Chain A
Amino acid sequence: DIVMTQSPDSLAASLGERATITCKSSQSVLSSSNNKNHLAWYQQKPGQPPKLLIYWASTRESGVPDRFSGSGSGTDFTLTISSLQAEDVAVYYCQQYYSLPLTFGGGTKVEIK
């Protein structure tokens, strides 16, 4: 199984500040068949289901604000919120879809300082 490890577990930043979450996979999720990283990021607000933000490690889902960006390759990935807004308070999860079982990181709770 591919283990996804996120850090930090939680972070608090001021409005307008940059927030960065890292995700490390126990093995590469870069596919040689399509040269893409099978890594997604989701946002989950309290009482709601997760929402897809980023896929293929760096492609923003339609309608997602451009303050959200994803980067990385192989085993190391980052989700960056360039200017934290009040509505970004949520738990963020990374997920690999390279192989079964599909696995998620433990989540990072983002709060406003």
Chain B
Amino acid sequence: EVQLLESGGGLVQPGGSLRLSCAASGFTFSSYAMNWVRQAPGKGLEWVSSIHGSSGITYYGDSVKGRITISRDNSKNTLYLEMNSLRADDTAVYYCAKATSDSSGWGLIDYWGQGTLVTVSS
């Protein structure tokens, strides 16, 4: 059974930093691209970042580019999101999400974690 367990969310002041983690199990972690998708309170879904499983190639949304770094440790089956210079509009539930492949159609997501809430406020 695929499981994705996010951690690291919490309350942070504007300009602060946070590191999110996602522990994955139930599949061969290194064989799949992984994603972070966020959802502001009462709002829709926004793609944040993706990373390929084998190559480690990364992609970022424009709203977070330069402030966020996605990474993974395939030996630990763990996905990370390093967040810096946080702003109030970064407040959201951050979901770790597994892609269906690491190649063609890799942007398709088949499993989502329960999410971790990041609140940016003074």
Contacts and interface: CB of A to CB of B under 8 A. Distances in A.
Interface stretch (B16-24, B73-81, B83-91, B101-109): B101-109
Interface string A4-19: 0000000000000000
A104 B110 contact: no
A50 interface: yes
B108 A97 contact: yes
Contact of B47 (A51, A55, A56, A103): A103
A65 interface: no
A100 interface: yes
A79 interface: no
A107 interface: yes
How many of chain B's residues touch chain A, expressed as a range? 20 to 34
B1 interface: no
Contact of B45 (A34, A50, A61): A50
Given A49-B95, A50-B45, A102-B50, A97 B105 contact: yes
A65 B62 CA distance: 36
B113 interface: yes
Contacts of A97: 105-108
B113 A49 contact: yes
B46 A100 contact: no
A13 to B, nearest CB: 21
Contacts of B45: 42, 50, 93, 95, 104, 107
B27 interface: no
A64 to B, nearest CB: 12
A93 B61 CA distance: 19
A101 B61 contact: yes
A106 interface: yes
Interface of A: 33-34, 36, 38, 40, 42, 48-52, 55-56, 61, 93, 95, 97-98, 100-107
6 contacts: A42-B109, A49-B95, A51-B112, A52-B109, A52-B111, A100-B50
Interface of B: 35, 44-47, 50, 59, 61-62, 95, 100, 104-115
